[in-house]
Amino acid sequence: MSKTILITGASSGIGQAAALALASTDNCLILVSMKNKEGLENTAKKAKEKGADVLTFSADVSDYEACKSLLAQANEHFGPIDLLINNAGISHIGLFQDMTPDEWQRVMNVNIGSVMNLCHLVIPSMVHRHHGRIINISSVWGNVGASCEAVYSASKGAINSFTKALAKELAPSNIQVNAIAFGAIETPMNAWLSKEEAEALADEIPAGREGTKEEAAQMICMVADAPDYLTGQILTMDGGWI
């Protein structure tokens, strides 16, 4: 059965890999990016080559009205959302005491605000149809916290708690809500690491390396196709790291 799938943060990294893994003649993709329009169009081009029908939106998903507008257009074109993948996220590296209120609010607005915005807007249709899945992309730092990433960790911890609570609300309507807490994945978010720092990080991971974005996408596809009884879970994929 064909699905209408919305993926945020689809211009690069895990979001792009997930879009390409899910791209097929059976699926309609709504791909969203906040800033990287070139990367978004590149993702769309590759997805279309695999047979998917694709819509793209450059939108700030931390803004409720922007989310409302893009969903109205997507619904008019494809119909209601079957699978929502909340992948948009930003990080901030540094001591919490050196952050400004604007900086920490921006991280929270993008990382958890976007999840709440899009869930709030897609859920009514899912409840009406007794059908739908939501996958929230989290981090191992949401599980255990990370020094010099206090607000990022807080935002991902909020995603974890929100996922568990929302799953309980929506289970009676046959809607599955899960999160995937990824460890170190080779994405642009980790590109700031020097070669030496990347090697030191790999030495900390029992698997001996960072995960690939393709492996992350494979995990997303597995959760998307999992039995209906899987809901309210924070599934960790980190090479045995944490």
| pLDDT tens digits, one per residue of 65-78 | 999 999 999 999 99
So what's the pLDDT on residue 221?
98
- The residues facing 134 across adjacent strands are 84, 177
Cα 51 to Cα 227: distance, rounded to the nearest angstrom: 26
For tokens 């909020």, what's the residue?
A: 158
So what's the pLDDT on residue 197?
85
Helix boundaries (H) for 135-235:
140-144, 150-170, 195-204, 213-224
Residue in 152, 58, 55 with CA at minimum distance from that of residue 107: 152
Give the C-alpha distances (Å, rounded to integers) separating 44 from 23, 24, 70, 138, 180.
9, 12, 16, 24, 24
**Backbone conformation region of residue 130, classed left if phi is above 0, alpha if psi is from -120 to 50, else beta:** left
So what's the pLDDT on residue 187?
83
pLDDT exceeds cutoff 90 at 194? no
Q: Are 159 and 142 in contact (CB under 8 A)?
A: yes
Domains of the chain and CATH, by start: 3-237 (3.40.50.720)
Q: Structure tokens of 55?
A: 């819509």
Coil, helix or strand at residue 101: helix
Residue type present at position 69: S
Residue in 152, 157, 165, 35 with CA at minimum distance from that of residue 104: 152
So what's the pLDDT on residue 192?
65
Reported confidence tier of residue 177, pLDDT bands at 50, 70, 90: very high
- The residues facing 120 across adjacent strands are none
So what's the pLDDT on residue 52?
97
pLDDT exceeds cutoff 80 at 55? yes
Q: Structure tokens of 4?
A: 């209408």
Q: Are 29 and 53 in contact (CB under 8 A)?
A: yes
The residue among 35 and 135 whose pLDDT is bigger is 135
For range 176-193, the mean pLDDT:
88
Q: Are 18 and 216 in contact (CB under 8 A)?
A: yes
Query: Do the strands 3-8 and 83-86 form a parallel or antiparallel pair, or are they unpaired?
Result: parallel
Verify whether residue 229 is a known catalytic residue: no
pLDDT exceeds cutoff 90 at 57? yes
For tokens 């803004």, what's the residue?
A: 63
So what's the pLDDT on residue 1?
66
Q: How many residues are recorded in the chain?
A: 242
Of 57, 78, 152, 162, the active-site residue reads 152
Give the C-alpha distances (Å, rounded to integers) separating 168 from 44, 110, 113, 176.
34, 24, 20, 9
